[in-house]
Amino acid sequence: MSFVALSLLCGVVPAMIAALPHQDRQLSGCDISNAKMTLPASQVALVEPNATTPSFIGLAIGVQNYTCSNTSTYTNVGAVAELFDVSCLYGKSAYTSVQTAAWDAWSAAPADVTAQDVIAFFSGAPEAKNAVLGQHFYVTNPITGTGVSPKWDFTSSGKTAGNPAAFVVGAKAGDIASPAGNTSNVDWLSVKPIQGDLASQIFRIDTTGGQPPASCTPGSAPISVKYTAKYWLFGGSVKK
């Protein structure tokens, strides 16, 4: 990808890339069919699938949304994130910390730059053809018609653009607290598809940020909390 157009994006992505070692600045377009996801030992809630190979490694830059419940705690009601292809970082030194570099840049961005702005910026940029995998957001549960479900939509970005099957609407299959032990970080998750062919399993790992304050005032406005994470997608029938 070209960094010239990216520099227009209020510095978020360029600042993230600038924080990477020189040899690690190629982010997208690498073969990850032999990549192995690292999960913490001594837990069984998240298990890497054996039979399928990873098809995408995405870096998410976005927000987790919360509303204040009448018990004065925040309830997660959605998320919006742009997913960047970071397949080339796998096996390199920057892989382990790219979500932290991204979070530092994202949290330093002006307050009026929203996750939607990040998505809108890249939707028109020629560089996005390689740099962006797709978007993560919430939709009405397509099976029950009530409640919301997370969606990963790669139908209009990257190499899967134009393929109407390149999405998954999912349901949580397992979760663990962030092994980083930092209560600011949202849980790591395993997600099973309820609709779509993009993947047979999705993991959210290496989370940074995204947790709401411990308490709130009932009736207060919804909040969006910035987060970054890696999403590993496995299986699926969509050609990349």
Q: For residues 127-186, which are near ligand NAG according to CB under 6 A?
A: 137-138, 182, 184-185
Chain-centroid distance of CA 101 in Å reads 14
Q: Considering the complex, what minimum distance in angstroms separates the CB of residue 29 from ligand NAG?
A: 29
User: What φ, ψ does residue 217 adopt, rounded to 5°?
Assistant: -100, 115
Chain-centroid distance of CA 204 in Å reads 7
Binding segment for ligand NAG (CB under 6 A), chosen from 75-83, 128-136, 149-157, 161-169, is 75-83
Q: Is 52 one of the binding residues for ligand NAG (CB under 6 A)?
A: no
Q: What is the DSSP letter of 212?
A: P
Q: Is 76 one of the binding residues for ligand NAG (CB under 6 A)?
A: no
Distance CA 208, CA 97 (A): 10
Burial-class residue 116 by CB neighbours within 10 Å (0-12, 13-18, 19+): middle
Q: Is 73 one of the binding residues for ligand NAG (CB under 6 A)?
A: no
Options 46, 80, 186, 238; binder of ligand NAG; rule CB under 6 A: 80
Residue 41: CB atoms within 10 A of its CB come to: 6
Of 23 and 183, CB closest to ligand NAG: 183
Residue with tokens 């976005």: 62
Q: Is 208 one of the binding residues for ligand NAG (CB under 6 A)?
A: yes
Tokens of 9: 């994006």
Q: Considering the complex, what minimum distance in angstroms separates the CB of residue 66 from ligand NAG?
A: 9
Q: Is 77 one of the binding residues for ligand NAG (CB under 6 A)?
A: yes
Binding residues for ligand NAG, rule: CB under 6 A, are 50, 63, 65, 70, 77-78, 80, 103, 114, 116, 137-138, 182, 184-185, 208-209, 224
